[in-house]
Amino acid sequence: MNDNQMSKSIFLETLNGKKTERPPVWFMRQAGRVLPNYLKLREKHSFSELMHDPVLASEVTLMPVADLGVDAAILFSDILVIPVALGMKLNFTDSGPRFDKALRELADPVGYLQRDATQLDYIYRAIDEIVARKQEEIPLIGFCGGPFTTLCYMIQGLSSNHTFPDAVNLLYRDRKVFHQLMSTITELSVEYARNQVRHGVQAFQIFETHAGLLPADLYVREMVPYVSQIAAAVREEGVKAIFLPKGLGYGLKDLRPEVADFVSVDWQMPIQEARKLIDPAMGIQGNLDPRLLFGGKQEILGTLEKYLDFGSRNADWIFNLGHGFVPGIPYENARLVVEWIQEANWRRS
């Protein structure tokens, strides 16, 4: 990526420490869920089909740029592709993803995992297709799951119980096996992240959706080092890393710049308080409650107004949700947020 390409993107400029006239805006889970055009595609194709077909994956990835006007596209994929490439069989059901066999059912979960990185090749083909089709000034964000969150799903075997009791129990019962599994996931995630960058992603986000399941000090001490390995890999490839540790709370104060360039903040903490906690060397992303978008126009606009002062004082901020879009959010409300962010007076001189 050359400087001329970078200068055309308000998102990349912000990631790279440049002051821009407004904060960039994109949404987690923007490729789907609230977009009428996506829902039409889902009438004809399963989620898995959309992921595995490079043309369809490209279409869905770029759809929010056209339909919502966001400043960046994020790869249409899923965090559970890593377990599949480790030999686990996954089905996307109407009630969420489910593995044929959960690691909690196995006497030797470490030995059960058999790495086959070729299972990720279709994703690289999708990235190639996206890069070929997208406008040059629209950056592409790649991603993977945080190793702890990924392991939670692998141990539990399904996504319907988000307390993941068996995963947390394994951590306390058998640290050695738990960390062997974490290392296996991280090793493949590092390769996966590097390859995404080599195929053309221009920023990378690590989704640690379930960081809040553990005491903050335990999470920072034992799980963050794995995240840092993935972040280091993408940084070595020349792109910035964003880290979402959902639910970490006051543990944000213990994150160091080696874990990421930007920290994405959930909605449980005011953005102003999060900024005080997060190391000033790290930028910040977030943190609108996605459920607000079920509300009326005046309530949405009133909440957005509260971000103006923060946005005027903090040029190292990317506007986003505290987590992903919730199914059923009106498309018009998502569009309203983008238009407001792009048209508001952010008082940046």
What is the SS3 string spanning 76-120? CCCCCHHHHHCCCCEEEECCEEEECCCHHHCCCHHHHCCCCHHHH
In 237-264, which positions are buried (b, 16+ CB within 10 angstroms) versus exposed (e)? eebbbbbbbbbbbebbebbeebbbbbbb
How far apart are alpha carbons 78 and 59 in whole angstroms? 16
Using CA atoms of 313, 2, 197, 227 in order, give the dihedral in degrees to the nearest 10.
-30
What is the 8-class DSSP label of residue 326? Answer: P
Go through the chain and tell me how many residues it has: 349
Picking from 187, 185, 191, the residue whose alpha carbon sits closest to that of residue 208 is: 185
At residue 172's C-alpha, the angle toward residues 168 and 178, to 5°, is 75
What is the end-to-end Cα distance of the chain in Å, rounded? 28
Question: In the chain, where do the E strands start and end?
Answer: 73-74, 90-93, 96-99, 140-145, 203-208, 240-245, 262-265, 283-286, 317-318
How far apart are alpha carbons 347 and 349 in whole angstroms? 6
Query: How far lies 64's CA from each of 29, 50, 262, in Å?
Result: 10, 15, 22
User: Quick check: 318 and 285 in contact, CB under 8 A?
Assistant: yes
Q: 54-67 and 36-44 helices cross at what angle (nearest 10)?
A: 160
Q: Which residues are catalytic?
A: 29, 33, 42, 78, 153
